[in-house]
Amino acid sequence: MKTAYPSRKSNAYFQYNYFQRKPNFFSLLMYPKNTYVWRHYNAMLSFNPSSPPPEALEIFNMISPERWAVKRLDIAFDYSMPLHEGFLLPPPTSQRIQRVDTTLYYGAATAKCTVCQYDKSKQLTDVYGVKSLSPLTRVEFRFKPKLKPMPEYTFKDFESMSRYHYVPDTKALTGLRVELKHLTVGKSNWKQLERSSKDRIRAAVQNNVPDMRTIFLEHIEGDIEAFMLSGLKRFGINSINQLNSSLIAM
């Protein structure tokens, strides 16, 4: 493996480090320098399952699924609608909501699940110089679960998604469109709304769209194991991507 994928640069935490950005991203870290980390795992593999490079799949298949555990998993919902036309209903519990430019972040950085809502078409232009043919909004769930073998993941591990509801086009919610648009673009703040306003919005949204976990399970046809091991599934205009997998070998 070292011959096929020579270490390219030093790393403060691993003795071996291979990183590839193009044509398809993946990285491989092996032999932790920290003895505590070594007791839990000895290799970390990161790649994009929606376009996995053959090299990453070759490495992944060298080790049985039972020995791979998820360190981070990103699942994205893409909608062919402008960002300002949509609205993401946060959980009823008190939660941190942070805005950076036009991007909304839900949940503390240390949480096991955080959510990011942003203009994907703008990101493609700003970062990659690619102009999107149509508006594109992304709602991205970022999981940092407790380490356990991949085949052992169940519906319960994605419970956090059930607390969110997304309306891609607020025109469907008569009488609420302007109010929801102001929340999305930052003209008003969800935390500062009166309880009665929150309850009214929550009832309307929940009656209009299913929660995100329900949508997720429908798209993967309820097959968690296949999703974890095979990655991407696309359906129609909207798509669900398994964006990033950081796996560790135990």
Coil, strand, or helix at residue 106?
A: strand
- The closest of 246, 209, 181, 205 to 45, measured between CA atoms, is 246
Confidence of residue 234 (pLDDT cuts 50, 70, 90): very low
Q: What's the confidence (pLDDT) of residue 3?
A: 61
Average pLDDT over residues 59-72: 84
Residues 6+ positions from 179 with CB-CB distance below 8 Å: 188, 197, 201
In this prediction, residue 19 carries a pLDDT of 84
Over residues 195-209, the pLDDT tens digits come to 999 999 999 999 999
pLDDT score of 7? 62
Per-domain residue ranges of the chain: 1-62, 74-249
pLDDT confidence tier of residue 70, bands split at 50, 70 and 90 = confident
pLDDT in tens, 109-151: 888 999 999 999 998 888 878 888 889 999 999 998 877 888 8
Comparing 64 with 83, which gets the higher pLDDT?
83
Assign 238 a pLDDT band (cuts: 50, 70, 90): very low
For residue 21, the SS3 value is: coil
Start-to-end C-alpha separation, the chain: 18
pLDDT class for 66, splitting at 50, 70, 90? confident
- Sign, CA dihedral 217-222-226-232, equals negative
Residues 14-41 pLDDT 10s: 888 888 877 778 888 888 888 877 777 8
Residue type, 134: S
